[in-house]
């Protein structure tokens, strides 16, 4: 049997890896004690830690380094608004789904008359976060697209505002957060082929007791709809304009 839970409990803390550029899932904001990582995923991480009887430590990494971070044991779990998919499941194990918000495109309000769906992006410059399912969806799903892969969503937003790219696909809750804090931006629904938007927690392969413990917490969270009713609203209070 694996001893992943025993190891965490012996350490007294669990390390959650995340890419804090994805409000309301995870983002950096100034709190009483300086800049800190907040987010609904952090609240979920705290709940998993609490049920294990340990403390939560949050480690910020680039989104495309998170799964390697699990394999090299830099982090014990990844909660990053991440979707399970067959390619990722080859290298890590996923929990049950804890949330799903859909897929949207963020565009400049000034382009709203020209861009109604991802078909209108054919031949245009589109930005996507490196390593995400959206990056692959744009690459495979939009004809003659000029795809700009950028590591951080905040930099993508700047590229969009300055007109370097015409659109960014992202999870709907995140698109809403950015649009509501940036008056010049607008969101449009974007059904792309092969897109699941269910979010799952990732674990190193073989950390089965830990994954089972997290699933137990997620069952409880889902039953009480805590992610939507408690975790997202708690996080939303800390989102600031940028
Ligand atoms: N849901 C997408 C994926 O799994 C994007 C997640 C990006 N997350 C982040 N924290 N920046 O690929």
pLDDT tens, 87-106? 999 999 999 999 998 889 99
pLDDT digits (tens, 9 = 90+) for 144-198: 999 999 999 999 999 999 999 999 999 999 999 999 989 999 999 877 665 677 9
Position of tokens 């792309």? Answer: 192
Domain assignment present for 242: no
Helix (H, G, I), strand (E, B), or coil: what is residue 32?
Answer: coil
The candidate with the shortest Cα–Cα distance to 29, out of 16, 13, 42, is 42
The candidate with the shortest Cα–Cα distance to 55, out of 67, 65, 42, is 42
**Binding site membership of 129 for ligand 1 (Cβ less than 6 Å):** yes
Domain assignment present for 164: yes
Which residue among 81, 99, 106, 197 has the greatest number of ligand 1 atoms within 8 angstroms of its CB, and so is best to mutate?
Answer: 81
What is the domain-level CATH number for residue 131? 3.40.190.10
Q: Are residues 93 and 210 in the same domain?
A: yes
Q: Are residues 92 and 126 in the same domain?
A: no
Give just the sign of the alpha carbon dihedral 80, 86, 92, 97: positive
Q: Are residues 157 and 174 in the same domain?
A: yes
Q: d(Cα 190, Cα 119) in Å, to the nearest integer?
A: 9
What's the domain count of the chain?
2
Domain assignment present for 41: yes
Q: Which residues of 170-189 are buried (b: 16+ CB within 10 A; e: fewer)?
A: bbbbbbbbbbeebeebbbbe
**Binding site membership of 84 for ligand 1 (Cβ less than 6 Å):** no
Residue 242's pLDDT is what?
53
Q: Are residues 89 and 62 in the same domain?
A: yes
Q: Which domain holds residue 174?
A: 103-189
pLDDT digits (tens, 9 = 90+) for 111-120: 999 999 889 9
**Binding site membership of 21 for ligand 1 (Cβ less than 6 Å):** yes
Average pLDDT over residues 45-61: 98
Chain mean position to CA 29: 16
Q: Are residues 87 and 112 in the same domain?
A: no
Domain assignment present for 160: yes
Q: Are residues 94 and 111 in the same domain?
A: no
Q: Are residues 204 and 95 in the same domain?
A: yes
Average pLDDT over residues 204-233: 97
């Amino acid at each position: 049997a694996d001893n992943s839970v025993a190891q965490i409990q012996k350490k007294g803390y669990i390390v959650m890896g995340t890419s804090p550029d994805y409000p309301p899932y995870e983002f950096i904001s100034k709190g009483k004690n300086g800049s800190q990582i907040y987010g609904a995923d952090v609240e979920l991480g705290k709940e998993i830690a609490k049920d294990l009887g340990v403390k939560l430590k949050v480690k910020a990494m680039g989104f495309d380094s998170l799964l390697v971070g699990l394999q090299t044991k830099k982090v014990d779990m990844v909660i990053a608004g991440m979707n399970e998919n067959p390619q990722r499941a080859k290298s890590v194990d996923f929990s049950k789904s804890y949330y799903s918000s859909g897929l949207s495109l963020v565009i400049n309000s000034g382009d709203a008359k020209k861009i109604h769906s991802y078909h209108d992006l054919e031949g245009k410059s589109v930005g996507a976060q490196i390593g995400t399912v959206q990056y692959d969806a744009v690459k495979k799903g939009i004809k003659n697209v000029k795809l700009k892969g950028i590591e951080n969503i905040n930099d993508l937003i700047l590229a969009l505002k300055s007109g370097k790219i015409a659109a960014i696909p992202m999870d709907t809750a995140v698109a809403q957060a950015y649009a509501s804090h940036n008056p010049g931006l607008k969101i449009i629904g974007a059904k792309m082929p092969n897109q699941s938007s269910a979010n799952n927690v990732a674990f190193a392969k073989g950390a089965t007791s830990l994954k089972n413990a997290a699933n137990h917490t997620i069952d409880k969270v889902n039953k009480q709809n805590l992610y939507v009713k408690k975790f997202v609203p708690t996080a939303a209070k800390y989102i600031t304009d940028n």
